[in-house]
Structure 1
């Protein structure tokens, strides 16, 4: 009887030992699987974040890189596609301001744009400007501020042997009017230089693009 009890106890011990032996590896395997899943998820998150950053940097580089210019771009904007605020006419480029200012500031603003206040030297140029400035007032590069009655163009061109298009009765120097502008129908008028009106800047056609038609 004693011997049978010992055998039963031994059998129970073996079964418990077997269960403990089988449970431990399963627990370890579950832990390893969880760690692997967490590691894979973390890797995916890091990789996705890195890919998003690289994509954003690539997009910025593409946006900042110079865009290729086609011949069609220059046909539409011969004064340069990057400066579409300038209008082309007969070998020159013109900027028509959107804000009003006095004559001195207008002259300086044109200089900042590597240009000068417009110097009108022909009827075709006058006609072009008249169509763009009708019913508004625009400064031009003509003044007698230095010597009353001695009109000068800002580029040194000869005024007295060149083209003029004064309104009848002008210039009359009424009230110390020393600067000229286009007004109304586009005729020239003298007015005091602190008057506020729009202005026109002028510069030559960019190098290499001369000879295109209007």
Structure 2
């Protein structure tokens, strides 16, 4: 009789232990899950705070420099959309044909100069944008016939050259003292009082230019 009671008690104890063990594991898993949720929330809150701070800083920069946001779209300045960027400088390709001296003046009025071509990279850039048209460049021998000079004082004799075959020359005993990019990109000398389009060049602005430089 006592043995039967002991067996019943053992079964009851074993059954309770079996039932309590899964509940214990569930409580642990819930606690771990809650802890992970709290940690995730803290990390998200921290990132949100950092992002909010960066956004506020960006807004202040834009507020203090409203034109700065356009510099990525217009490296030469949002008020100078006609100027094209290449290799650290800005270039203006005119739509008006004028004599060489007038072209030089128009560039200077825009705080620029007639373009000086000093190598193949710039030559390739220019000839792809001037194809089938003539454009004045900053090259001339106005002072002494045959002594070509760049408007920025660069050494012509040791520098880059890209003359068309047979150029520079004189046409029908008429002096051709000003350089231009020919319709296929090569250089040609031409009478300075003839009308041609022109190319201005200036450094990229370090700060957003105003409409005065347009």
C-alpha displacement of 1:153: 0.2
Q: 1:128 to 1:199 in 2, by over 3 A?
A: same
C-alpha displacement of 1:69: 2.7
C-alpha displacement of 1:158: 0.4
Structure 1 residues without counterparts, runs of 5 or longer: 1-65, 210-214
1:182 corresponds to: 181
2:153 corresponds to: 156
C-alpha displacement of 1:110: 0.4
1:169 pairs with one of 157, 163, 166: 166
C-alpha displacement of 1:67: 8.0
**Counterpart Cα distance in 1 of 2:129 and 2:159:** 22
Q: 1:98 to 1:91 in 2, by over 3 A?
A: same
1:199 corresponds to: 198
Name which of structure 1's ranges 137-146 and 76-85 shifts more when overlaid on structure 2: 76-85
2:67 corresponds to: 69
C-alpha displacement of 1:208: 5.9
**Counterpart Cα distance in 1 of 2:182 and 2:194:** 13
2:104 pairs with one of 90, 103, 107: 107
The runs of at least 4 consecutive aligned structure 1 residues that moved more than 3 Å come to none
1:89 pairs with one of 69, 74, 86: 86
**TM superposition score normalised by structure 2:** 0.64
**Counterpart Cα distance in 2 of 1:179 and 1:202:** 17
Pair member with larger Rg: 1
**TM superposition score normalised by structure 1:** 0.64
Aligned: 1:117 with 2:83 = no
- 5 Å-filtered alignment, 1:135-154, equals 135-154=132-151
Q: How large is the RMSD of aligned CA atoms in angstroms?
A: 1.8
C-alpha displacement of 1:82: 1.3
**Counterpart Cα distance in 2 of 1:188 and 1:155:** 18
Q: 1:70 to 1:115 in 2, by over 3 A?
A: closer
Structure 2 residues without counterparts, runs of 5 or longer: 1-63, 209-214
**Counterpart Cα distance in 2 of 1:208 and 1:113:** 16
C-alpha displacement of 1:70: 4.6
C-alpha displacement of 1:207: 1.9
